[in-house]
Structure 1
Amino acid sequence: MPLKIIRDDITKVPVDAIVNAANKTLLGGSGVDGAIHRAAGPALLEECRRLGGCPTGQAKITQGYNLPATYVIHTVGPIWQGGNSDEAEQLASCYQNSLQLAKTYDLKSMAFPLISAGAYGYPKEQALEIAISTINAFLQQNPLLVYLVLFTEEDLILSHQWLKP
């Protein structure tokens, strides 16, 4: 199945799992992380407390609680430090590990935000390239409906420019 890029609020996308661009504590924060925690309700925070955090590039799964998604896959993206600190590999790992969890749980659909491109400062064009190429490589071997959910019209336009041949 092809990757679908949409503009929406990820907390409202009805899929098996949404991906949370979390911080290492998994205890909520700003941006998409805070929005997901608010929409899911306090039970998500309680479950995240029991997970003991998550290293950069890795992923962990919880229930979705009050979200339309059954699960939340939490992944910790890299903080942009200029591109010479393995940020690209760590970012690709976020997508790969989240996709692998979806496969392990036999999920049929999932939605990603653009990981690390907000508060963590990753340049959006580079973040889009990594997201699209990593997800598409996985989809060549695995049947899964994947959405890349962009929050702003500007990001959606940028994704269309990047996808042009």
Structure 2
Amino acid sequence: MEIEVVEGDITEQAVDVVVNAANSSLLGGGGVDGAIHRRGGPEVLAACRALRAAHLGGGLGVGQAVATTAGRLPAKWVVHTVGPVHSATEDRSELLAACHRNSLLVAAELGAETVAFPAISTGVYRWPLESAAEIALAAVREPVGPVRLVRFVLFGAAAHRAFADRL
């Protein structure tokens, strides 16, 4: 599997799957989540609401992943995953790794070959970039189904540098 690290806007990626760093409600928010919902349009929100009504009434758990349409995004699907909030007193790195592994498993079930990830949990959830990069890159190294390309699309030079240095 090929792994790329680029600086850019994840909502502009023409890939099979864009991974959304969602909150547990799946109903939009700030950062990557808000950008994906805005660019994806009402179709993404409607699909998330349908998931909540069907079997995710309590929301999506940390480390879990679920797919919806990509709406108006250039991707085919959005895989939503909920990252952990960083803690200085509790090791939550396995939950962050699970976000990446479970997102890839869902993408593979969809038949996806190309997947774009953001830097999950590094925004308002305060995960240090260097640590997040190490965990994310280690979690996606094993091939999963038809996935042949994982691209980390990072917002800003600092995030790009943290991931590129560890790749």
TM-score range, shorter chain: over 0.9
TM-score, normalised with respect to structure 1: 0.92
* C-alpha distance in 2 between matches for 1:28 and 1:143: 27
8 Å contact from structure 2 (residues 40, 73) kept in 1: yes
Q: 1:74 to 1:2 in 2, by over 3 A?
A: same
SS at match of 2:140: helix
1:82 shift after superposition = 1.3
CA shift, 1:104, in A, is 1.0
Question: Which of the numbers 107, 111, 116 marks the counterpart of 1:106?
Answer: 111
Structure 2's unaligned 5+ residue stretches are 53-58
Is the CA contact (8 Å cut-off) linking 1:2 and 1:139 kept in structure 2?
no
Runs of 5+ unmatched residues, structure 1: none
User: How many residue pairs get matched?
Assistant: 161
Pairing 1:10-21 to 2, within 5 Å after superposition = 10-21=10-21
Instruction: Confirm or deny: 8 A CA contact 2:108 2:145 kept in the other structure.
Output: no
Percent identity over the alignment is 44
- Following superposition, the deviation at residue 45 of structure 1 comes to 0.8
Which residue of the partner structure matches residue 154 of structure 2? 150
The offset of 1:87, in angstroms, is: 1.2
- TM-score where L is the length of structure 2: 0.91
Structure 1 residue runs of 4 or more that deviate by more than 6 Å after TM superposition: none
Counterpart in the other structure of 1:92? 97
Structure 2 CA distance, aligned partners of 1:19 and 1:88? 18
**Alignment of structure 1 residues 1-165 onto 2, 5 Å:** 1-52=1-52, 53-82=59-88, 84=90, 86-136=91-141, 138-139=142-143, 143-163=147-167
